[in-house]
A = this chain, B = another copy of it.
Amino acid sequence: MLGQLRLALAQINPTVGDLVGNCDLIAEVVARAARDGAHVVVFPEMVVTGYPVEDLALRPSFRQASKAAIAGLAKCVFEQGYGDLVLVVGYLDEASDFVNRLGQPQGAPQNAVAIIHDGKIRARYVKHHLPNYGVFDEFRNFVPGDSSLVVRVHGVDVGVAICEDIWQEGGTVSDLKARKPGLVVVPNGSPYERNKDDVRLALVQQRVLELGVPIAYVNMTGGQDDLVFDGDTIVVGADGALVARAPQFENCLLFVDLELEAGTSNPDLVIQEERVPSFSPRSSEIAPRLDDLAEVWNALVVGLRDYIAKNNFETVLIAISGGIDSALVAAIAVDALGADCVHGVSLPSKYSSDHSITDAEELASNTGLHYRLIEIESMVSAFLAAMKLDGIAQENVQARVRGVTLMGISNQEGHLVLATGNKSELAVGYSTLYGDAVGAFAPIKDIYKTDVWALATWRNTQALLRGEVPPIPVGSITKEPSAELRPGQKDSDSLPEYKLLDEVLLRYVEGDEGGAELIAAGLDAALVKRVITMVDRAEYKRRQYPPGTKVSSRAFGKDRRLPITSRWNEGSH
């Protein structure tokens, strides 16, 4: 016995804390889905509150607001005449009967999904597996659910899981396997990581084969602090084949017409028994996947754009040194915000080379960003007259004078300052606290230096393919990296060659490999020891560094939580 359903999968971009705005967006999407004949609309995880809400979940007033918002949404959609549609909407709920660790009753936050129909919340499902690794703190912020949910929609039994529920064995997946639904829908808040789309599809296909039914996987888009969500909404048919895929990083409403086994389970709730009148299915979009660098570029652009917009800024300010890092950040900012919202300032000292200024000017000319130049010599001299400084102390004054100048312009004109440090620098502490490290957001903090060059070249090539002027000056890409804080200084005076450095960093930071493993892998022992020691000692600097978009499997920040105070010397083990 078969039943048809038209699913509308809402790959949209909610904002954390904007309950009114998010519910307006949801209602608008429901109207569009209804106009196009959808029977079921599936939204991402916690779309009502935005995701992740972190410790806002622990605040009773916020939970109450979320519960009121989902009830209001059900009513609003009904009043707009869409009560027939079945909506699957993520929100923050609470278990009123929860008892805390001291045996006291206490409202407890739950990561939940409401099944909305006919103006009411007809059923709810609570996330069972709470991720508490990497960037996730869900065991801190939620209490888990312990039961599965299957609801009958036009004769088809639809099971629900939330994100992590399908990544772990047991719990919801096992329950659903036993209950034999005809379809499983999975709302997600799954942050982007390089190559994660491959993993997601393989995982969904594995679960489809285990459960023997199609799975619709719905993920959000947009940026939230250091996270960016790439969407990558997919539907896999009962045979394991990819049926539909939404374009990464774009908001869209993906429609999928499915013919499904009906009446397969013993549902918790029957919403509609009668099947929909037979209709001829339309084929769905299967958006091509972006290649690696295109994916990373989009992540960086969306992450920056949303940080700016969602924090109510419009313009950014960047110190343009003529080097590759600031050029890359400027190009990302121009793609994210438009050149008119990007302000660059060149801050040359007496050690700045001529090409620093000409490369900065060329960047401004290529991209159309607002450009100015302020000489820092007079401020640096004032400090050196007031204090006796030499060596690194003197070099750092230049970087910090630039920081003060940037922040002055920012305070005066209202731009948000972008820090231009890359992951290699941040890893080894090759930066000046309160100097080049100033900024509210650091777009490329999770990009190793070797990838900085690769992305710059990629972006320029894209411009050439589109017949546009490449944004990044060739000189910025080809010149030898230098902080230009003393005459003739080169990065290679202080650091290993970046190719080698990044290889050690990738294994140490992402791979958690110890010193002995790195040496066993053929890396030079002195190099390993030197790099690891630099990384460990720079922890205090990273703590004061601004947030920036995570693209790797382990970004600095909440993804990697290490003590500052530590005498563990990994380099000697």
Contact = CB atoms under 8 A, between A and B. Distances in A.
Contacts of A15: 565, 567
Nearest to A167: B101
Contacts of A543: 546-547
A181 to B, nearest CB: 23
Interface string A213-226: 00000000001110
Interface stretch (A4-12, A115-123, A265-273, A376-384): A376-384
A27 interface: no
B393 A408 contact: yes
Contacts of A58: 512
A72 to B, nearest CB: 14
Interface string A391-409: 0110011001101110111
B16 A512 contact: no
Nearest to A376: B386
A136 to B, nearest CB: 9
B565 A224 contact: yes
A351 interface: no
Given A393-B412, A403-B434, A546-B544, A563 B62 contact: no
B16 A567 contact: yes
Contacts of A379: 379, 382-383, 386
Nearest to A345: B387
B408 A387 contact: yes
A385 B378 contact: yes
B61 A307 contact: no
A560 interface: yes
B408 A514 contact: no
A388 interface: yes
A17 B59 CA distance: 35
B132 A434 contact: no
A379 B570 CA distance: 42
Interface in A555-573: 558, 560-570, 573
A159 interface: no
Contacts of A381: 382
B169 A563 contact: no
Interface stretch (A48-56, A75-83, A278-286, A328-336): A48-56
Given A65-B573, A407-B400, A434-B404, A561 B137 contact: yes
B17 A563 contact: yes
Contacts of A255: none
Contact of A412 (B133, B137, B387): B387
A563 B56 contact: yes
A18 interface: yes
B386 A378 contact: yes
A517 interface: yes
Nearest to A20: B567
A311 B565 contact: yes
A443 B52 CA distance: 31
Contacts of A50: 566
A225 B565 contact: yes
A16 B132 contact: no
A485 interface: no
B382 A396 contact: no
Contacts of A64: 514
Contact of A563 (B225, B512, B514, B561): B225
Interface string A121-144: 000000001001100010110000
Interface in A143-194: 167-169
A151 B73 CA distance: 59
Contact of A133 (B103, B140, B169): B140
A98 interface: no
Contacts of A169: 101, 103
A407 B386 contact: no
A223 B566 CA distance: 12
B563 A54 contact: yes
Interface string A74-107: 0000000000000000000000000001110000
A515 interface: yes
Given A389-B408, A433-B407, A61 B573 contact: yes
B570 A168 contact: no
Contacts of A61: 513-517, 570, 573
Contacts of A407: 396, 400, 433-434
Contact of A307 (B311, B393, B412, B565): B565
A519 to B, nearest CB: 11
B16 A102 contact: no
Interface of A: 15-19, 21, 50, 52-56, 58-62, 64-65, 101-103, 129, 132-133, 137, 139-140, 167-169, 223-225, 306-307, 310-311, 374-376, 378-379, 381-383, 385-390, 392-393, 396-397, 400-401, 403-405, 407-409, 411-412, 433-434, 438, 440, 512-517, 540, 543-547, 558, 560-570, 573
5 contacts: A21-B567, A376-B386, A387-B409, A404-B434, A547-B564
The 9 closest A-B pairs by CB, nearest first: A61-B514, A17-B568, A393-B411, A18-B567, A17-B566, A393-B412, A382-B382, A17-B567, A379-B382
Given A374-B387, A381-B382, A396-B411, 11 more contacts: A50-B566, A56-B566, A139-B139, A223-B565, A225-B563, A306-B565, A386-B405, A387-B412, A404-B434, A407-B433, A540-B546
